[in-house]
Every structure is written in C-alpha cells, then in structure tokens.
Amino acid sequence: MKSQHQVATAQKVLVQVALVVLSAVFLFPFAWMILTALKPLDETMTIPIKWMPSKFLWSNFTDAIKYGHESVGYYPFLVYARNSIVLCALIVSGTVASNSIVAYSFARLRWPGRDLAFGVTLATMMVPFPVLMVPTFALFRHLDWIGTYRPLWVPAWFGSAFSIFLLRQFFRTIPFELTEAAKIDGASEWRIFRSIVLPLSKAAVAVVALFSFMGAWNDFLGPLIYLLDQKTFTLSLGLQFYQSQNGGTSWNLLMAASAMVIAPVIILFFFTQKLFIQGIAITGLKG
Amino acid sequence: MKRIGRREAWAGFIFASPWAIGFLVFMAYPLIASIYFSFCDYSVLKPPIWVGLDNYKALLHDELFWKTLKNTLIYAVIALPAGMATAIILAMLLNTKVKGMAAYRTFFFIPSLVPQVSLAILWMWVLNGEHGVLNPILKTVGITGPNWMGDPNWSKPSLVLMGMWGVGNAMLIYLAGLQDVPTQLIEASELDGANSWQKTVNVTLPMISPVILFNLIMGIIGTLQVFTVPYIMFPNGAPEHSTYFYAVYLYDNAFRYHKMGYASAMGWIMFLMILVLTVCSLRMSEKHVHYQGT
Amino acid sequence: MDRSAFTIPVLAIAVLGVLFESEQLTAPPPPDGKVHVKYWEKWTAFEFDAMKHVVDEFNKSQDKIQVDILSVSGIEDKTLMAISGGIPPDVVGLYGPNVTQYADNHAVIQLDDLCKAGGIKEEDYIPAYWNIGVVRGHLYALPSTPATTALHYNRALFKEAGLDPEKPPKTIDELDAMADKLTKRDANGHVIRTGFMPGEPGWWNWAWGPFFGGKLWDGKDKITINSPDNVKAFEWIQSFSKKWGASALQSFKSGFGQFSSPQNAFMMSQNAMEIQGVWMYNFIHMYAPTLDWAAAPFPAARPDLPNPTVIDLDVLCIPTGAKHQAEAFKFLQYVESQKGLEMLCLGQKKITPLRKVSAGFIEHHPNPYIKLFIDMAYSKTTISTPKLGIWSQYNDEISSAFDSVTLMTKTPKQALDDVQGRMQPILDQYLDRLHLRGEQ
C-alpha cells in the first residue's frame, strides 16, 4: 500500500516530467523558426532534414529587411514596421482614451438607460466582423477614406465592447466612498475620473492597452481591405511578400522576417508579465 | 440632491457619447445596411437593385456555401473542445506547486502572442510535406506523419493542432480561475477519499464553470469567424476546399467576385448562427454552471 | 497633481504627432505642374524594367504628362478594390482573362471612341490578341505583351534517357512514353525527377481540356466543363498520378523552388519537359545559362488539333473613375505604336501583338526560338480563357478539380461533374443579374 506521501511525490514527478515535455513541444516551433532563419536557402530544402545550419547566416536577417519591392524603398521591412508602429500608436491611444471614459460612465455614473446600453454593448460582442464588412467599406468609400489609415484607427476612438466590459468591471471595484466624498466637495466628474479613478486603475488600463496593441499589431483583414498602396502596408501584409506569386518561397528569409515580427510582442510581454497576469485576475475575467 | 443627480446623468451621457456615436455609425448602421444589401444585387461600382430573397435562395443551392459552412462547423466542433481541454489541463498542471512554474507559464503563453500571419507562415513551414519538421520528429517516435497540408483529411487537423498550440491566454484565464477555487472544498473532498480524477470532475471543474462558459462563448464567436490563418495557409481552401472557411468565402464573394449583396446575406447567416449558439450555451449553462457565492 | 496636469497634454501632443505622421504616409505627392498619370503594372525585375524604359521614353518625349509606374502584386484583386474604393490608378496592366470581369463590373472604361480618334486600329493587330480586349462588342483593353506557349524540354536529360534530343514528342502519346523514360525514383521509392507534370508550372491548368478539344462554355449560357473531351483531358492528367503515386508526386512538387530563381524545377533538371511561355528563355538565361534545352510546338492531343498553344496576353486598361483619362490614353497611344510595342516586347523578350513586325525584330531577338513563338500565334489551335465575368471563380473551381484529380481523391468525371454542378447555377445567376440591369 503506497503511503499518501509516496503517491504525492510520484504525482509531483509526473507533473514535472509532463511540464518539461510540454515545454519542449511548445517551444519547438520557435526553435525551428530561428534555425531555419539562419540557414542558407538550399539547406532549408534538404531531404533528409538538416537540423542545424552549417553556418549561422545572421545576414539573413538583414537580407530579410532588404527583401521586397523597389517601390517601397531599400528596406521594405522597416517601412512596414514603421507603418505598423504608427498605426498601433493611434489605435492604442484611442482605445485607452475612449474606453476608459465610456467604461467610467457605465461603471460609476447613474443615468437613465445605462444598464440597457451596457447590455447592448455586451450583445455587440456577438456581432461578427464579416457582417459589417461590406457596409463599412461602402461607408468609408463615401468618405473617401479608402487607401488611408483612417478606417483602421478612427473606430478605435469610439470604444469597443470588450475593453469597455473589462474596464467597467474593474472600475466598479473601486470603493464608492472615495468618489462620493469628492463629489460632495464639489469636484466635477472629469476631475474625479482623472484624479481618483484613473490612477487607481493603472493595471486594468495597461491590460486593455496590451490587448489593443496585440490586436492592432496582429490585424490582417483590416489592412488587407483598406490599404492599397504597398508603401503604406503594415507588417502583417508585408510578410506575405516573401512568398513568390509564381510559386516557391524563400523560407529562410521568411522565417527571419517572421521572427522579427513576433519579437516585439514577446519582448513587450516580458516587461509587462506581472502587470498582465495581475490584470487578468483583477478584471474578474474569470467570473 | 437632485442637482447632483441631473449633473451626473448629463456627465453620464457625455462620457458615454463616444460609444454611442461609434455604436450608431460602426455597428447599427452597418447592421441595418447589411440586411438591406442582402436583399439586393450590389457591388460598390453599381447601385443596389432589389432582388428580394434571391440571394438567400441562391445560397441554399450554393455547394460552396454548404461546404464552407460544414468546414467551419467541423473545425469549431473539434477545435473548441480540444483547445479548452488543452488549456484546462495546462492550467491544472501549472496550478500544482512545482518549481519553475513562472517559467513554464511563460513558455506556454508565448505562442498565443504570435501574430496570426506569422503563425500561419511558421506552421506552413513546420507542416510542409517535403521539408517540414513535424514529420521527421514523429518519425523518431515511430509515427509516419501524413501530408498535413496536402491531404484533405489532414488539413483541418493541422489547423486544430495550431489552435492547441495557441491556447496560452485561455490557459491564463483558467489558471486565475483555478486559483480562486476555495481550498476547503478540495480538502473536504480529499477527506472523503476522492482521488485526483474525482476531485477534478466533482469539485474543480464545477468551480471554474463560469470561466469555461465565458471561454466557450468567446470561442464560438471567434472560431466561426476565423479568416487570417486559412486565408494565408490554404489559398482557396486547397486542397479540395477542405479548408475553405466561411469567412474566407464571404471575403472572396465580397471583394474578389464583387457579389456584395450575396456576401451580406452570408454575413447575416453567420450572425444568426452565433446568436443561436450563444443562446443555447447560456441556456445549457443554467444547469451546469455554478457561480461562487450564489 | 502637477504631474497629471502635465501628462494629458503631453499625450495629446504625442497622439497628434502620430496622427500627422499617419496622414503624411498616405498623402498624395505635391504638384509640380505636370499631369501625373498613375500606372499600376504587375511585372517585376527585368519585365518591369522593359516597361519602365518605355515609360521613361514617353516622359522624355513631352513635358506635359508624367507617367509614374508602380509594380503591384496581386494586381487583379488590388485594382478592383482600388476602383471600388474610389482611388483607382489611371492606367492598369491587367491579365487578359480579367477583362470580361472588369468590363461587366463597370470597372474599366470603353476605349472604342478613344481608339478611333487616336488612330489605333483593329486591323493592325493579330486577331487572337485584339479579341481578348473586346467584350460584348466593345473594346475595353489594349494588348501590351502577348505570349504563346510551347513545349520546353531538357536535351541533356533526353540524351541520358536514350531519347533523340532532335526529336521531341509530336503527340500526347509520344509525350507520355518519353515522360515514362525520363521519370526517375531513388532507392526509397521517392520520385526524384519527373518527365512531365501537367501541374508544373500550373498557370494553365484550365487549358488542358481545350488541348483535347473540350470547350469550357458554349459561348452563351452553358458551362460545359464535364464534356467528354474535357473528361478525357483530366483522365490524362490523372494518369500521371496513377503511374507514379499521387502523394509521391505531391511531395516532390511541394519542394520545388521559386519560379524565378536557380531553384526552378525545370532549371534544376528536376522536371524534364514543361509547358512554358515565350519568356522562359530569359529566366533560363539568367539562372541556368548552361542548361541544354530546346523548345518545340507542344504535342497534339488529337491530329485535328495540331500545335496547340495557350494565347496569353497582358493588357492595358483605363479604370473607371480614373482622374486623368485623356492623359492616360495619350500614354497608351505611345505604347501601342509599333515603336513602343517593339521596345516593350523586345525588352521583355516576347513577341509583339502586331501583324507587322519590323525587319530587325526577329534577328535581334535574343530568344533563339522567337520565330516558333510567333508562328504559334497563328496556329490553328489557339486556346484562351473564356470571356466570362465569373472567370476567377470558375478558374478556382477548375483548379480545385485539378487538385482532386492529381491527388486521386475523385475520378475525372466526378471532379468535373462537381465543377459543372457548382458553376452552372453561378453562371445562371450572373447572367440573370446582368439581365436585370439591362446589360445582357
């Protein structure tokens, strides 16, 4: 009869083993991506498979940056990166600004129809983008905004259901006594928002900003529909150009470019890990 | 007192106005316009002409409509449970007090940060029939991998695999939920002699059922709209339309074949499906979901 | 308190700065007194350079109009989006098969009147090419660079397999027999060289039916993809998979390198015989100059269909809503002159779409087989894409059937019946809608 202690230790060992194996599984594609990025092209196409590159071609990374169309300049990758950064900055700032204001209204201000409006907001999370795609395109067409970045960042300044939900849940956890006191002293709502609620909500706002950044950095369908001039493309569109239209692909350069697209997000995550995980917990996503 | 009330209400309206404008312009108007377009023949270069139910009738007879719908639903039915199970299992593994938990948590989470485009491209490479790396690895444990990208029977499973790789953020949410499970409950069940399996099924899972429900609904909404990865990895849903997804067919109809009325009809059908599935999930949840504190 | 009063204005300025930058990134360039004609073209590398040369000559020859040429990938979809989006280029270089769709969608303007006033005449052109730009009796596109196809084969591999390199196959049966001799497997059964693959390069998978005499539609309102001749063609396509194994061929093909690189399958001697166009010479010259190869008329599937060739054409159109239509047409006139077309086609090392060919053209042409390709344009069996507005969808369906057949997941008849079943209702609906708008 195994003692409870022995069972517990055996389980612990099993768990450790499982975690190690799974970690290897989860990290392997990244490793493979980097290995491929460092190989010369013909080594990517060998049969049987060649695991390690014969030499570490770090130049593939610079080649990947230079790869692309003359019309876009000498370093197309950097052009796309700049576009992505500019767009992300506009989207993230819009998201943070608009959603925090709107969520404040839903969370801490009383007005007729508020709960109905919040319900409607939640319901809109169910509306899939494809059903809005055609009329939205026609709308932007009439505004002559196609080909510019406006269709991509302007909507971010008008609130989005998920972020409103997150922030509203969080704002409600701030004790009402704090704000009541300020109100009785005659402070305006904007004052209360800016000086009391917002400073206390840094973590939640950071989570919203992070999610928004990842969404914007990641977005493919939006730029696909609204951006037409190659010089204005974002990284997600630009990555496609490493695949030749006529068939055949420079896998090593493509992997190098992909690595460079993934890297900022991962680096950002490393710096904001604690905040991020804290944010998920406190915004009550789990309940 | 009333003055504060009125001021507050006004502030409420003003603060909520960005959402209100956004809702009218980017949500309500497109929804209504899209119903209208779905009853028309329309392409932006030609004005809409009313055709009544013609688009919907044509959809019923469109083989590709049914095929893409089937593909999307099959994918959802496999990917959602597989993803949820993976996320929960990973979360439970992480919830044990082992050393290095923070590191493992990071390893499992990072894949979910990868942008969709890079994800598609990376896995195209990993799953490549001739030069990919998954099959050689499987060979070392004696399994002969199929032609993931080229065999219609294995193309959807490839996508499911990729989905399971990216469950990182769902896993974090489950982990947070698991950490909320009151330890007294678990200890009580141990005293009753429950083993690991029973503890999981009878205590842990019910306690995190609200999280499961939330992820299920978000999963339904997300999976039915999946676009980027199939669009990039499998142009035209090759091989043989096995990975032609509903959202991609919709996009093709709107922007490549210029049948925007038709695409609007497809969009509405997708929306209705999501509504029905969400309501069903909520209904079912009343029986199975336990909220703490109620 | 002081800090927070500071952060919001700073943030606001930062955001405004970014906004300004984003507007700059998508703003049009400042004016300089000339009319700027935006020209989108699909070509890259030396083909692009050939057209750029023509553009530069045009710009130099006068000082009122400046043509800005841009290389755009995925041009057939991007241009349609740009036209729908209200920001079309002034001239666009499309593929011949796109013309009907663009015309039916009101995406490009009619050129009849402009041509009459500008002296561009139908009689000057090889009929097969002029016709590609005509839809329902109106001209919507002018030819830019034409092409024909022929059999390209690797003479060194022929010699190695005991075949006479001076005697390329003349019929499909001969082709099959020679392909059998040229295909090789290694000790593990992997295919390491193919004699012929109908799917390589895979740009004309839709054309095999017509090679065997099949028609893709009846010219009016019926899709005819499952006619016996088409089925015969697809049975021939499937025969390769039957002989060598569907997944073996599939694996082999998935490892092929980029077309425009030294890793091209034909240039690496991985594929011994291939259907290719007049441009192939350039790429071989660039990436595999020591390759011992030759071109010959493609073998006939039936004796009454000799010298089958795919007529491929790049065209120039003026999109609807273009801001500078008159100036755009002036540029087109320049290109369509004999001088302009020969400059362009010589630069791309192709044939010209004009009947008249100036004396030095053939002599100075670097492609040793140029006369063959010119002759092909006058062949009895010219094959071009059907003039259907739903062509891109139809083509996708045929490709899908091609895949099913090469992967052996469907029989040819099944695959083609499926395409028939899907496309007929789509064609019916398409024609109905045109009728509804009074355009049919």
Mean pLDDT, residues B247-265: 90
Residue A200, C-beta contacts closer than 8 angstroms, at least 6 positions apart: A174
* Polymer length in residues for chain B: 294
Chain A residue numbers touching C21 (CB-CB < 8 A): 86
User: Does residue C24 lie in a domain region?
Assistant: no
Q: C172 with C229, same domain?
A: yes
Angle at which helices B63-95 and A4-37 cross, to 10°: 130
Q: Is the pLDDT of residue B1 over 60?
A: no
Burial of residue C34 (CB within 10 Å: 0-12, 13-18, 19+) is middle
Is residue C4 situated within a structural domain? no
Judged against a pLDDT cut of 60, whether residue B293 lies above it is answered with: no
- A/C interface, count of CB pairs below 8 Å: 99
Same domain, B31 and B164: no
Those of residues 211-270 in C touching chain A at CB distance below 8 A are 255-261, 263-264
- The Cα-based distances of B117 to A30, A168, A278, B255 in angstroms read 15, 32, 28, 20
Q: Which two tokens stand for residue B207?
A: 């306690």
Hey, which residues does C125 pair with through a beta bridge?
C354
Is residue C14 included in any domain, yes or no?
no
pLDDT, one tens digit per residue, over B133-158 is 888 888 788 777 787 877 778 888 88
Does residue B12 share a domain with residue B133?
A: no
Query: A52 to chain B nearest CA, in Å?
Result: 12
Give the pLDDT score at C347.
Answer: 85
Q: Please check the confidence at residue B194 and state whether its pLDDT lies above 60.
A: yes
Q: What does the block give as tokens for A276?
A: 């991020």
Residue at C292 is within a domain: yes
Is residue C337 scored above 80 in pLDDT?
A: yes
pLDDT value of residue C5: 64
The rounded distance, in Å, linking the Cα atoms of A135 and C249 is 45
Give chain C's mean pLDDT. Answer: 89
Contacts of C62 (CB under 8 A, 6+ apart): none
Chains with 3+ CB–CB pairs under 8 A to A are B, C
Looking at the fold, whether B244 and B269 belong to one and the same domain comes out as yes
Last residue of a domain, one of C360, C378, C396: C378
Contact A47 C21 (CB under 8 A): no
Q: Are residues B146 and B203 in the same domain?
A: yes
d(CA A198, CA A99): 12
In this predicted model, which residue has the larger pLDDT, A112 or B239?
A: A112
Mean pLDDT for A223-244 is 84
pLDDT at residue C168, rounded to an integer: 93
Contacts of C387 (CB under 8 A, 6+ apart): C99, C100, C135
Cα–Cα distance for residue pair C18/A153, rounded to 1 Å: 11
**List of chain A residues whose C-beta atoms are within 8 Å of the C-beta of residue C87:** 144, 146-147, 228
Give me the mean pLDDT over the A243-265 stretch.
77
Say if residue A157's pLDDT is above 80: yes
**Which structural domain range is residue C51 located in?**
35-146+313-378
The band of B205, judged by pLDDT with boundaries at 50, 70 and 90, is confident
Dig out the tokens for C60 from the structure: 């130099």
Q: Specify whether B100 is located in the same domain as B236.
A: yes
Per-residue pLDDT, averaged over B168-186, amounts to 81
From the list B90, B137, B172, which residue is nearest A280 (CB)? B172
Checking if the pLDDT of C410 tops 50, the result is: yes
Cα C250 → chain centroid: 24
Question: pLDDT class for C210, splitting at 50, 70, 90?
Answer: very high
CATH number of the domain to which B68 belongs = 1.10.3720.10
> Chain C: nearest CA to B146, how far in angstroms?
10
Contacts of B204 in chain A (CB under 8 A): none
How does DSSP classify residue C299?
A: P
- Determine whether B41 is exposed, middle or buried from the number of CB atoms within 10 Å of its CB (0-12, 13-18, 19+): buried
| B22 and B117 belong to one structural domain | no
Before C303, cis peptide (omega within 30)?
no
Domain count, chain C: 2
User: Quick check: is B113 in a domain?
Assistant: yes
Give the model's pLDDT for residue A2: 59
Predicted confidence (pLDDT) at residue C177 exceeds the cutoff of 50? yes
Q: Mark whether C190 and C268 lie in a shared domain.
A: yes
> What is this structure's pTM?
0.83
* Domain co-membership, C122 together with C216: no
- Closest residue of B to A126, CA-based? B221
Residues B134 and B13 in one domain: no
Residues C118, C265 within the same domain: no
Neighbour count for residue A48 (Cβ, 10 Å) = 7
DSSP letter string over B220-281? Answer: HHHHHT--HHHHHHSGGGTTTTTT--HHHHHHIIIIIS--HHHHHHHHHHHHHHHHHHHHHH
Are A83 and C11 an interchain contact pair (Cβ–Cβ within 8 Å)?
Answer: no
Contact C254 B236 (CB under 8 A): no
Give the closest-approach CA distance of A80 to chain B in angstroms: 14
B48: in domain:
no
Please check whether residues B31 and B89 belong to one and the same domain. Answer: no
pLDDT in tens, C56-109: 999 999 989 999 998 887 888 889 888 988 889 999 999 999 999 999 988 999
Mutation site for C-interface testing, chosen from A41, A150, A197, A245 by largest number of C Cβ within 10 Å: A245
Q: Please indicate, yes or no, whether residues B103 and B234 belong to a single structural domain of this protein.
A: yes
SS3 for A111-180 is CCCHHHHHHHHHHHCCCCHHHHHHHHHHHHHHCCCCCCCHHHHHHHHHCCHHHHHHHHHHHCCCCHHHHH
Q: C197 and C124 in one domain?
A: no
Which of B88-97, C5-14, C292-301 ranks highest by mean pLDDT? C292-301
Name beta bridge partners: C92.
C40, C317
Map out the domains of chain A with their CATH numbers: 70-282 (1.10.3720.10)
Query: Looking at the 3D structure of chain B, how many domains does it have?
Result: 2
Q: How confident is the model at residue B294 (pLDDT cuts 50, 70, 90)?
A: very low
Which residues are within 8 A (CB) of C362 and not within 5 positions of it... i.e. 6 or more apart? C370, C371, C374
- CA quadruple A146, A149, A152, A156: dihedral, nearest 10: -130
Do residues B164 and B65 share a domain? Answer: yes
CATH number at residue C361: 3.40.190.10
One domain for residues C245 and C391: yes
* pLDDT at residue A49 greater than cutoff 80: no
Q: Name chain A contacts of B181, Cβ cutoff 8 Å.
A: none
User: At which of C340, C358, C378 does a domain end?
Assistant: C378
Q: What is the Cα–Cα distance from B33 to B24, expressed in whole angstroms?
A: 12
The parent domain of residue B271 ranges over: 54-288
Q: Do A244 and C258 touch (CB under 8 A)?
A: yes
* C394 shares its domain with C411: yes
Judge if C56 and C196 occupy the same domain. Answer: no
User: What value does the mean pLDDT take over residues C216-237?
Assistant: 93
Compare CB distances from B63 to C77, C84, C422 and report the shortest one's residue: C422
Q: How far is A287 from chain C (nearest CA, A)?
A: 33
Phi first, then psi, for residue C121 (nearest 5°) are -120, 145
C-alpha to C-alpha distance for C15 and A253, rounded to whole angstroms: 34
User: Which of helix, strand or coil describes residue C117?
Assistant: helix
- Domain membership of residue B242 (yes or no) is yes
CA-to-CA separations, C319 to C54, C76, C215, C316, C361, in angstroms, rounded: 21, 12, 31, 10, 32
* B204 domain residue, yes or no: yes
Count the neighbouring beta carbons within 10 Å of the beta carbon of residue A79.
22
A23–B111 C-beta distance less than 8 A: no
Indicate whether C358 pLDDT > 60.
yes
Let me know if residue B46 belongs to a domain.
no
Domain-terminating residue out of C378, C397, C420: C378
CA distance C247 to A102: 57
Closest by Cβ to A262, choosing from B21, B118, B254: B118
Contact C133/C125 with Cβ under 8 angstroms?
Answer: no
C21 and A CB contact within 8 Å: yes
d(CA A53, CA A34): 10
User: CA-CA distances (angstroms) from residue A128 to A124, B227, B266, C165, C198?
Assistant: 9, 11, 11, 60, 41
Q: Does residue B44 fall inside a structural domain? A: no
Among A45, A47, A157, most C C-beta atoms within 10 A, so best to mutate, is A47
Q: C51: part of which helix (H) or strand (E)? A: helix C45-61
Q: Nearest 5°: phi and psi at C317?
A: -135, 160
Domain match, C140 and C243 both: no
Name the residue facing C18 among A89, A147, A241 (closest C-beta): A89
| DSSP-derived secondary structure for C222-257 | -B-TTSHHHHHHHHHHHHHHHHH-HHHHHHHHHT--
Same domain, B14 and B116: no
User: A287 pLDDT exceeds 70?
Assistant: no
Place of tokens 């969009």: B267
Q: Does the residue C46 lie in any domain?
A: yes
One domain for residues C258 and C110:
no
- Of A11-15, A80-84, C191-195, minimum mean pLDDT range: A11-15
Residue C85 near chain A (CB below 8 Å):
yes
| Cross-chain residue pair A29–B264, CB shorter than 8 Å | no
Instruction: Report the gap between the CA of A160 and the closest CA in chain B (Å).
Output: 8
CB contact under 8 A, B238 and C254: no
Look at residue B216 and tell me whether its pLDDT is greater than 70: yes
Residues in chain C with CB shorter than 8 Å from the CB of B150 are 247, 250-251, 254, 407
Tell me: do B89 and B19 sit in the same domain.
Answer: no
Alpha-carbon gap: A106 to the closest alpha carbon of chain C (Å): 22
Give the residue from A100, A193, A228 with the most C CB atoms within 10 Å of its CB, the best one to mutate: A228
Residues C114 and C49 in one domain: yes
Cβ neighbours of B176 in A, within 8 Å: 277, 280-281, 285-286
Helix C412-436 with B54-61: angle, nearest 10 deg: 170
Do residue C348 and residue C303 come from a single domain? Answer: no
pLDDT digits (tens, 9 = 90+) for A61-103: 888 888 776 667 778 888 899 999 999 999 999 999 999 999 9
SS (H, E, C) B48-98: EEECCCHHHHHHHHCHHHHHHHHHHHHHHHHHHHHHHHHHHHHHHHHHCCC
Percentage, residues of chain A above pLDDT 70: 91
Q: Which residues of C375-384 are buried (b: 16+ CB within 10 A; e: fewer)?
A: bbbebebbbb
Inter-residue contact C387 to C187 (CB < 8 Å): no
Residue B241: pLDDT band with limits 50, 70, 90: confident
Q: What is the mean pLDDT of chain B?
A: 84
Pair type for strands C134-135 and C65-71: unpaired
Residue B265 lies in a domain: yes
The verdict on a CB contact (< 8 Å) between B19 and A102 is: yes
Q: Would you state the structure tokens that stand for residue C376, as one six-digit string?
A: 């092909």
Is B253 part of any domain? yes
pLDDT at A261 over 60: yes
Q: Give whole-number Cα distances, A235 to A238, B80, B147, B255, C9, in Å.
A: 5, 29, 30, 21, 30
Structure tokens at A161: 């259901």
> How far apart are the CA of C371 and the nearest CA of chain A, in angstroms?
26
C186 in a domain, yes or no?
yes
Contact A134 B254 (CB under 8 A): yes
Quick one: DSSP state of residue C147?
A: E
